[in-house]
Structure 1
Amino acid sequence: MNFSLLEIFKRKSHLPLLVGDRPFTYSEVWEESRKTAYQFQEMGISKKDRVGLLIEQNENSLFHMLGLLMIGATPALISPKSSTSERAYFTQTAGLKTILKPETLKVEKLTPIENIETGIILFTSGSTGNPKALELSFDNLYYSAKGSIDFYKIGKEDKYLLNLPLNHIGGLMVFIRCLISGAQCILSQEDSILKHRPSIYSLVPAQLIRLLKNKELSSILKDSKAIIIGGDRLPEKYFDKTLPISLTYGLSESTAQVAASIPGTKEMKILPHREVLIRDNGQIGIKGTTKFKNYLIDGKKTSSDSIYWTQDIGTLKDGRLEVLGRLDDCFICGGENMVPAEIEKAFLNIDKIERVKVVPIRNEEYGHIPVAFYQADELVEDLKIKLKRYLPVYKIPKHIFKLEDHDIKWPKNKLIELAQRKIDVVTY
């Protein structure tokens, strides 16, 4: 096993690792985690148990996660915002022994801990159905982090802002990269950027856009080493060459990043320890040491092929990856191929529009037609006229609706249902 918690903590015992309400060195994180490990043993949790953990954005949650790993249990990271029905589903599909609530565990007595790390369970976003429980091995975590560390040259002099949820692969890997590289992991608080001036950020586009609206924070971002942007397409108008923006492509099944651009550029290169394949239809496949271990269904491990075929389409040339869209999003409109990602990219060139989603709606004459939803602070006028600068007329959606923030994050099938209802109202 290449990734040993014990060896990592021994090797970096006096360095600062975690900065939350106060700084914690590696040795302090280790001791706090051992205390929670003992408490878990007293609760009857043992090695090979799968245990749900409602993980919050604080140091105690990280101590709980590490404590479970120390006794050989497998933590399944769950959002504390999840509903009762979601937790019941997670318990059933991943075969969880219990779900631990986020509360501080204070234990003084210590006992020898059997350090048999197993892995971590995450639940995918479920954009096309119920979330899937996937198991990541320690090799997955180690080699994913190592490839990112080597690419961005992350070291003990760096401060890395943890501003993404820990129950998502993006947030989890920020902590793992810090753990392996020696960089300080800065838990995001209201004044974290002003107080600590991180050198590395991992953000989704919406977070970057909010930061850029603040002149003081925007100025601090320019002095950083890398601003890693993933999870969604960054509108072209926000790509500022004076900022060290690194565009990235990844997914939970690849243990986060697959490819990324050198900060300040747009061409994405395949990162170390990853392999990418492209089928004739453009479908992207991933393999290598960062490909996830297996899915869990009804608590049982499923078999996993050596290649995981994503639902994304793209091109690969000379080690450079371009992601064009989703295979399951493409549709035919009046005999013409429609790629929603292409239409969405055109929308994002227009001022004030921050997010957009295009879905297909059945139509008697054309088979399907594109319908667009967008988010902006205010209604954007003359959108169809503005889109003619970027799209042929037949690709411009006939129906365009402005939505509130929460709506556009709905699963595709829910947006299609909403689009149909809105079209019916317009038609009527």
Structure 2
Amino acid sequence: MEIVAQAAQRFGNAPALITAGRRWSFADLHADTARIAAAFEARGVRRGDIVALVAPNSVPLVLALMALMRMGAVAAPVNHRFPASHVEGVIQRLKPAMTLDATILDAFVTDALARRDAAFVATTEMERPASIIHTSASSGKPKAALHSLANHYFSATGSAQNLPFEPGDCWLLSLPLYHVGGYSMLYKCLLGGGALAIPSPDTSLAKSLAGFPVTHLSLVPTQLYRMLRASGGPERLRSLKALLLGGSAVSPALLDEAIRERAPIYLTYGSTEMSTQVTTSPGPVTLARGDSGAVLPWREVAIAPDGEILVKGECLFMGYLDDGGLRTARDAEGWFHTGDMGELSEDGRLTVLGRKDSMFISGGENIHPEEIEEALCSIEGIDEAVVAPAPDAEYGARPVAWIEARSNAPDDAAISASLAQSLGKLKTPVAIHRVQEWQTLPGSAKIDRGWYRKLGESEKG
């Protein structure tokens, strides 16, 4: 039995989707997605065809993604915030059988749900391609990661063994569906029986938490920082069963603050290629240890001799789509090289040290910018930091920092003195620049680290 039909059989009238105006049960999902799948087939979409969807989070998008899941087509949600030329380039490379933007998608789903004929051919083959999720790229074209149904199934199953999501629970869809963290929520819902709350795109996080019976929440550190300072934010976070925190490194100061507020933080490390989570805290963290939790079921992690994090397992994607072909991106032993540097403790906990391609050598010593950024963000008044190398005649390269600082932050001399004491002189930035607004990746809120690296290369040593 395919995944949506099985969810309807298991969970029946339990809530599956919740909006401000309506609730869908799992039985409703079964009926509605069957109609939409039939409409796709009527438009000529067949098993294995790619369908691109360029739209923000919405009920029609969720229903369409589940319908494509059921019929064996390959869903490719695309970042609608990309510039039009960028979206056009992505579509040209995908060569989809069908492309739907937000307006066309809404009309297509509305028309499909008005039809009585819901006959379509469901598929249950686990190894078939199911989705294409694009990875972030600082320049050039983003990579198209192809996942199988099995990848998403085992990802959700392994996550649930550590962090259950069951009938009566509600997870706020706070991440975009064109990111693997957002898309994975569909499988967590269908396999676990919890409901997804879908806020309107213009609703703030704080207002969404106040308007839905949320028990589970996924955030990146910037969102956590804002929630801890929002009116009633700490109390609302405290009421959750679980707050999954990932996406980027979290500063010790922010984590300590969340722990003091008794927010049920689960730290996680993951990637698009591994269908989202790789490691997660076994329980709510009570101490800022610096690790990203333990390896979840159906995943394997190893550390290469040079310190790079290697991953494999049932969750590892099928490969990248390149010019119509599939590149597996695995080494001879089946490992995927993440590009992240890390350490694995004897008890199986992973500590992420930073990106391999961001590391540089200064005076013969390996410098990880993330270590310096973490130290900067531990200083009161500094909210965000980026560190990159600048050429230096004596050392080869020295670190330069850009910081987002509040009025209570120390001056540059005091910051340098603090870092020299905690990290040593070699890791102390030779220059500190204060920014009001960050340079971000196209169509994303992520800081464009490549841009700052190039800026560092232009600094005078």
Aligned identity (percent) is 30
Match of residue 14 from structure 2: 15
TM-score, length-normalised on structure 1? 0.93
Match of residue 264 from structure 2: 244
Question: Aligned partners of 2:26 and 2:437: how far apart in 1?
Answer: 39
Match of residue 179 from structure 2: 168
Deviations 1:181-207 (A, max 9, x none): 111111234432113241111100000
Question: Aligned partners of 1:378 and 1:32: how far apart in 2?
Answer: 53
Match of residue 119 from structure 2: 112
Offset, 1:379? 8.1
Question: Aligned partners of 2:239 and 2:81: how far apart in 1?
Answer: 34
Match of residue 65 from structure 2: 65
Helix, strand or coil at the partner of 1:145: helix
Offset, 1:391? 1.6
Helix, strand or coil at the partner of 1:414: helix
| 1:392 and 2:424 matched | yes
Runs of 4+ in 1 over 4 A off after TM superposition: none
**Contact conserved, 1:295 with 1:301, CA < 8 A, in 2?**
yes
Question: Aligned partners of 1:12 and 1:76: how far apart in 2?
Answer: 27
Match of residue 284 from structure 2: 263
Which residue identity does 1:322 align to in structure 2?
T
**Contact conserved, 1:278 with 1:315, CA < 8 A, in 2?**
yes
Q: Which runs of 5+ in 2 are unaligned?
A: 441-445
Question: Aligned partners of 1:331 and 1:226: how far apart in 2?
Answer: 37
Offset, 1:253? 0.6
* Pair 1:302–1:337, CA change in 2 (3 A): closer
Match of residue 214 from structure 1: 230
Question: Aligned partners of 2:134 and 2:7: how far apart in 1?
Answer: 27
Match of residue 326 from structure 1: 355
Helix, strand or coil at the partner of 2:298: coil
Offset, 1:232? 0.8
Question: Aligned partners of 2:27 and 2:438: how far apart in 1?
Answer: 41
Match of residue 416 from structure 1: 453
Which residue identity does 2:395 align to in structure 1?
Y
Question: Aligned partners of 2:190 and 2:357: how far apart in 1?
Answer: 37
Match of residue 122 from structure 1: 133
* Pair 1:412–1:209, CA change in 2 (3 A): closer
**Contact conserved, 2:13 with 2:27, CA < 8 A, in 1?**
yes
Alignment of 1:292-311 (within 5 A): 292-305=317-330, 306-311=334-339
Match of residue 43 from structure 1: 43
**Contact conserved, 1:162 with 1:175, CA < 8 A, in 2?**
no
Offset, 1:6? 2.4
**Contact conserved, 1:94 with 1:300, CA < 8 A, in 2?**
no
Offset, 1:114? 0.9
- Using the TM superposition, name which of 8-17 and 247-256 deviates more: 8-17
**Contact conserved, 1:78 with 1:167, CA < 8 A, in 2?**
yes
Alignment of 1:18-417 (within 5 A): 18-21=17-20, 22-103=22-103, 104=106, 105=108, 106-107=110-111, 108-109=114-115, 110-116=117-123, 118-127=129-138, 129-188=140-199, 189-190=203-204, 191-239=207-255, 240-241=258-259, 242-261=262-281, 262-265=283-286, 266=289, 267=291, 268-305=293-330, 306-317=334-345, 318-378=347-407, 380=409, 381-382=411-412, 383-407=415-439, 409-417=446-454
- Using the TM superposition, name which of 8-17 and 411-420 deviates more: 411-420
Question: Aligned partners of 2:32 and 2:52: how far apart in 1?
Answer: 20
TM-score, length-normalised on structure 2? 0.86
Helix, strand or coil at the partner of 1:407: coil
Deviations 1:201-237 (A, max 9, x none): 1100000110000241211211211111101111111
**Contact conserved, 2:134 with 2:143, CA < 8 A, in 1?**
yes
Which residue identity does 1:116 align to in structure 2?
T
**Contact conserved, 2:173 with 2:197, CA < 8 A, in 1?**
yes
Offset, 1:403? 2.3
Deviations 1:362-407 (A, max 9, x none): 2333211211122234584232123234220121111111224441
Helix, strand or coil at the partner of 2:270: strand
RMSD of Structure 2 on Structure 1 (CA): 2.1
Offset, 1:129? 4.9
Question: Aligned partners of 1:264 and 1:395: how far apart in 2?
Answer: 29
Question: Aligned partners of 2:72 and 2:89: how far apart in 1?
Answer: 24
Question: Aligned partners of 2:37 and 2:190: how far apart in 1?
Answer: 18
Offset, 1:347? 0.6
Question: Aligned partners of 2:353 and 2:188: how far apart in 1?
Answer: 28
Deviations 1:11-63 (A, max 9, x none): 22311001113211112223222333233233322221111111321111111
* Pair 1:129–1:395, CA change in 2 (3 A): farther
- Using the TM superposition, name which of 249-258 and 219-228 deviates more: 219-228
Q: Which runs of 5+ in 1 are unaligned?
A: none
